[in-house]
């Protein structure tokens, strides 16, 4: 490489899709790169080289945190040369390789692969680079093909490959002996009659009600619960009725699959109307992203060993209704905004959150009229909670008035502000600790998945694959749960940090709250309230405001009279004119 060491800042990049202390481990890659820099450019350059490492990430995508951080440093001029052990440590995608080189050229930076020893300033070097990049992508695609081939072979058996069993079934193992005398287990789904009746009822009710919202209300009022003892949410119901495992493998289901370009890995004669459908490869899980549902034509489908619960015709009808409802679903439009100040703070006496419901009417001041409505009351249609709605415009003004009164007592306000700030800091620290713990667990889990996937890709025979697939499915489900928790924590932490960073500004705002409130934006008011208010509870007659630093757990009460503007009927029909 024709690179001058003068004023050069070197970056060492290393990546490995699974954890290992041998061979091309992260540590070994870094050490070999340091030795190369020392040998070619001097020990000082080697010692000062910046290190970027991504462990537990695949080379199929460049969406890796430290790779992205390194490229930002290249664009900012902080790095002039990137050194890695081998090209496929950067990426296994030919397109990404070329884009990477173009980025470096644009920034005037250089690239060294110590294994292939590329010189991208010469035509020969570029040719070799293209060749190696194509080989890396071919290797990645070959691994993916092997995994799909293995899935297809296992699909022919119709077995349950592990993971959380769907409602209505349990996993049952059957032992068998191999020719070498070793015992092995295969698994299939076994019907649980009581749960199967519930599943059948859910499908039947959805076909009758034709609405997830109405079905959620029905199940809530009838006290039906999930296996975890929780009420069925719309999301849980939707996932259940979309699962093809419940569909009987009958003639209607066979024709549906063929029409959707799915070639089952079972003969048409096995679609006997009794056994259920087993569909593999339905989702794709990408590190750092939510699980993506794959289109039906990518499924690997066969007739399972288990008993189906609903007819193919009913399952297909349900999918049609879901598609129809999706096309009619309400979508947020630009210009709409949430003017409510107490969203997330206000709770009903039953413990559920109260959410704002905006109407098409306006108040005398020209504001959009809205009321706060209990979530449980709305979902159960008053069967589980009959607490009155509350005029949102009036309540927000009343809470602001109470804060104005508090702001008049400077010493009391300062005490509560100090307590509020400490609460923010303590909560942020705890959230950060919890987030790091979850991310660590996710990284460990991903390493285990990568190791199992690599093992599966290298296998050429069916025996032994079952236990590997069980492990992959189990860890994939765990990853899904961890990722959901991480996203929730990150959102909360982002809000906490925003409030913490804005605390000094908000403190000044609160000190002159009475004079400046009218000039504040809705978001400023919302943040200001959250600096000193922990919780607000509506019991149907009074509003209880709980402030940071309160010694009295009963909170400060506001007598809330019935609305006097003639525009709100707390006991009127739900969502009559709300959007």
147-169 pLDDT per residue, tens: 555 555 555 555 676 667 899 99
Residue 97 in tokens: 């390789």
Higher-pLDDT residue of 279 and 292 is: 279
Higher-pLDDT residue of 74 and 533 is: 74
Among 224-233, 311-320, 418-427, the least confident range: 418-427
**SS in 3 state form for 400-438?**
HHHHHHHHCCHHHHHHHHHHHHHHHHHHHHHHHHHHHHH
Among 150-154, 374-378, 429-433, the least confident range: 150-154
Q: For 389-412, what is each residue's pLDDT tens digit?
A: 999 988 988 888 877 777 666 666
> What proportion of the chain, given as a percentage, has pLDDT over 90?
20
Among 183-197, 263-277, 372-386, the least confident range: 183-197
Higher-pLDDT residue of 324 and 285 is: 324
* 3-class DSSP assignment, residue 258: helix
DSSP label at 14? E
Higher-pLDDT residue of 441 and 73 is: 73
**Residue 420's pLDDT band (cuts 50, 70, 90):** low
Q: So what's the pLDDT on residue 517?
A: 65
Among 148-162, 279-293, 337-351, the least confident range: 148-162
Among 47-56, 177-186, 262-271, 426-435, the least confident range: 177-186
Which of 257, 261, 293, 295 is CA-nearest to residue 278?
Answer: 257
Q: So what's the pLDDT on residue 443?
A: 82
**Residue 312's pLDDT band (cuts 50, 70, 90):** very high
Q: Compute the Cα dihedral for 62, 63, 68, 71 and give only its sign.
A: positive
| Mean of per-residue pLDDT scores for the chain | 76
Q: So what's the pLDDT on residue 167?
A: 93
> Angle at Cα 298 formed by Cα 296 and Cα 299, nearest 5°?
70
| Contact between 558 and 541 (Cβ < 8 Å) | no
CA 347/CA 379 separation, integer angstroms: 15
Mean local confidence (pLDDT), 521-548: 82
CA 136/CA 132 separation, integer angstroms: 6
Q: Is 285's pLDDT higher than 60?
A: no
**Residue 91's pLDDT band (cuts 50, 70, 90):** confident
Q: So what's the pLDDT on residue 119?
A: 58
Mean local confidence (pLDDT), 234-239: 90
CA 183/CA 500 separation, integer angstroms: 60
Q: How many CB atoms lie within 10 A of CB 457?
A: 15
Q: Compute the Cα dihedral for 344, 347, 353, 358 and give only its sign.
A: negative
End-to-end CA distance of the chain: 65
Bridge partner list, 310: 247
Q: So what's the pLDDT on residue 125?
A: 64
The reply to whether the predicted model has a pTM over 0.85 is no
Q: How many CB atoms lie within 10 A of CB 321?
A: 17
CA 565/CA 563 separation, integer angstroms: 6
| Contact between 396 and 368 (Cβ < 8 Å) | no
Q: So what's the pLDDT on residue 465?
A: 64
Higher-pLDDT residue of 332 and 101 is: 101
Q: Is 204's pLDDT higher than 90?
A: yes
Q: So what's the pLDDT on residue 143?
A: 57
189-to-20, 62, 161, 172, 310 alpha-carbon distances in Å: 36, 39, 10, 6, 15
DSSP 311-366: -HHHHHHHHHHHHHHHHHS----TT-----S-TTTEEETTS-BEEEEEEEEE-TTS
Q: So what's the pLDDT on residue 262?
A: 86
| Contact between 435 and 486 (Cβ < 8 Å) | yes
Q: So what's the pLDDT on residue 23?
A: 44
Q: Is 287's pLDDT higher than 60?
A: no
Which of 361, 406, 362 is CA-nearest to residue 513?
Answer: 406
Sequence-ordered list of residues with C-beta below 8 angstroms from that of 384, at least 6 positions apart, any chain: 220, 221, 350, 376, 377
Sequence-ordered list of residues with C-beta below 8 angstroms from that of 576, at least 6 positions apart, any chain: none
Q: So what's the pLDDT on residue 469?
A: 66
Q: So what's the pLDDT on residue 326?
A: 76
Cα dihedral value 230, 231, 233, 237, nearest 10: 100
Question: Which range, 21-30, 155-164, 186-195, 416-425, has the best average confidence (pLDDT)?
Answer: 186-195
Q: So what's the pLDDT on residue 340?
A: 85
Mean local confidence (pLDDT), 314-331: 80
CA 368/CA 386 separation, integer angstroms: 25
**Residue 115's pLDDT band (cuts 50, 70, 90):** confident
Q: So what's the pLDDT on residue 571?
A: 38
CA 479/CA 255 separation, integer angstroms: 35
**Residue 572's pLDDT band (cuts 50, 70, 90):** very low
Mean local confidence (pLDDT), 275-283: 83
Q: Is 456's pLDDT higher than 80?
A: no
* 3-class DSSP assignment, residue 385: coil
Which of 59, 49, 50 is CA-nearest to residue 16?
Answer: 59
Which of 139, 174, 153 is CA-nearest to residue 461?
Answer: 153
Q: For 30-70, what is each residue's pLDDT tens digit?
A: 888 999 999 888 899 999 999 998 877 776 677 888 898 99
**Residue 206's pLDDT band (cuts 50, 70, 90):** very high
Among 236-240, 340-344, 562-566, the least confident range: 562-566
Among 141-145, 432-436, 527-531, the least confident range: 141-145
Among 43-52, 76-85, 148-157, 207-216, the least confident range: 148-157
Per the document, the length of the chain is 579
**SS in 3 state form for 299-311?**
CEEEEEEEECCEC
**Residue 121's pLDDT band (cuts 50, 70, 90):** low
Q: Is 414's pLDDT higher than 80?
A: no
């Amino acid at each position: 490489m024709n690179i001058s060491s003068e004023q050069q800042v070197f970056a060492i990049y290393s990546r490995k899709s699974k954890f290992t202390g041998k061979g091309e481990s992260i540590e070994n890659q870094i050490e070999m790169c340091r030795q190369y820099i020392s040998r070619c450019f001097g020990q000082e350059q080697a010692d000062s080289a910046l290190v970027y490492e991504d462990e537990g990430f695949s080379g199929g995508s460049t969406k890796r945190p430290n790779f992205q951080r390194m490229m930002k440093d290249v664009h900012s001029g902080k790095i002039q040369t990137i050194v890695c052990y081998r090209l496929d440590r950067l990426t296994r995608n030919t397109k990404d390789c070329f884009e990477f080189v173009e980025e470096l050229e644009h920034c005037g930076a250089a690239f060294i692969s110590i294994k292939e020893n590329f010189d991208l300033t010469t035509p020969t070097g570029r040719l070799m680079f293209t060749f190696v990049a194509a080989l890396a992508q071919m290797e990645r695609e070959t691994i993916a093909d092997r995994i799909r081939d293995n899935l297809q072979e296992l699909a022919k058996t119709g077995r349950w490959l592990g993971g959380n069993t769907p409602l209505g079934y349990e996993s049952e193992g059957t032992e068998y002996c191999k020719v070498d005398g070793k015992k092995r287990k295969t698994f299939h789904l076994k019907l649980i009659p009581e749960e199967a009746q519930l599943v059948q009822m859910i499908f039947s009710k959805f076909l009758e009600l034709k609405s997830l919202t109405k079905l959620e209300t029905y199940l809530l009022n009838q006290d039906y619960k999930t296996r975890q003892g929780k009420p069925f949410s719309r999301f849980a119901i939707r996932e259940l009725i979309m699962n093809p495992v419940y569909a009987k493998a009958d003639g209607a289901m066979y024709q549906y699959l063929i029409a959707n370009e799915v070639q089952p890995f079972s003969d048409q004669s096995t679609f006997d109307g009794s056994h259920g459908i087993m569909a593999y490869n339905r989702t794709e899980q990408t590190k750092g992203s939510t699980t993506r549902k794959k289109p039906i034509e990518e499924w690997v489908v066969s007739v399972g060993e288990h008993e189906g619960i609903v007819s193919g015709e009913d399952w297909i009808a349900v999918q049609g209704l879901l598609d129809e409802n999706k096309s009619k679903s309400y979508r947020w439009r630009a210009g709409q905004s949430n003017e409510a100040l107490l969203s997330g703070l206000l709770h009903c006496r039953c413990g559920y959150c109260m959410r704002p419901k905006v109407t098409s009417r306006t108040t005398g001041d020209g504001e959009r009229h809205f009321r706060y409505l209990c979530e449980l009351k709305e979902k159960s249609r008053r069967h589980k909670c009959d607490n009155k709605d509350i005029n949102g415009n009036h309540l927000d003004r009343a809470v602001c008035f109470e804060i104005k009164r508090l702001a008049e007592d400077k010493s009391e306000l300062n005490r509560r502000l100090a307590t509020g700030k400490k609460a923010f800091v303590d909560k942020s620290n705890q959230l950060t600790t919890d987030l790091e713990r979850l991310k660590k667990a996710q990284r460990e889990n991903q390493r285990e998945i990568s190791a199992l996937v690599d093992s599966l890709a290298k296998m050429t025979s069916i025996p032994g694959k079952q236990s590997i697939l069980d492990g992959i499915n189990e860890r994939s489900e765990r990853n899904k749960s961890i990722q959901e928790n991480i996203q929730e924590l990150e959102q909360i932490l982002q809000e906490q940090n925003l409030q913490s960073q804005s605390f000094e500004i908000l403190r000044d705002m609160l000190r002159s709250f009475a004079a400046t409130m009218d000039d504040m934006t809705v978001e400023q008011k919302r943040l200001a309230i959250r600096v000193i208010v922990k919780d607000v509870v509506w019991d149907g007659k009074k509003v209880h405001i709980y402030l940071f630093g309160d010694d009295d757990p009963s909170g400060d009460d506001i007598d809330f009279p019935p609305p006097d503007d003639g525009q709100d009927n707390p006991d009127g029909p739900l969502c009559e004119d709300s959007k």
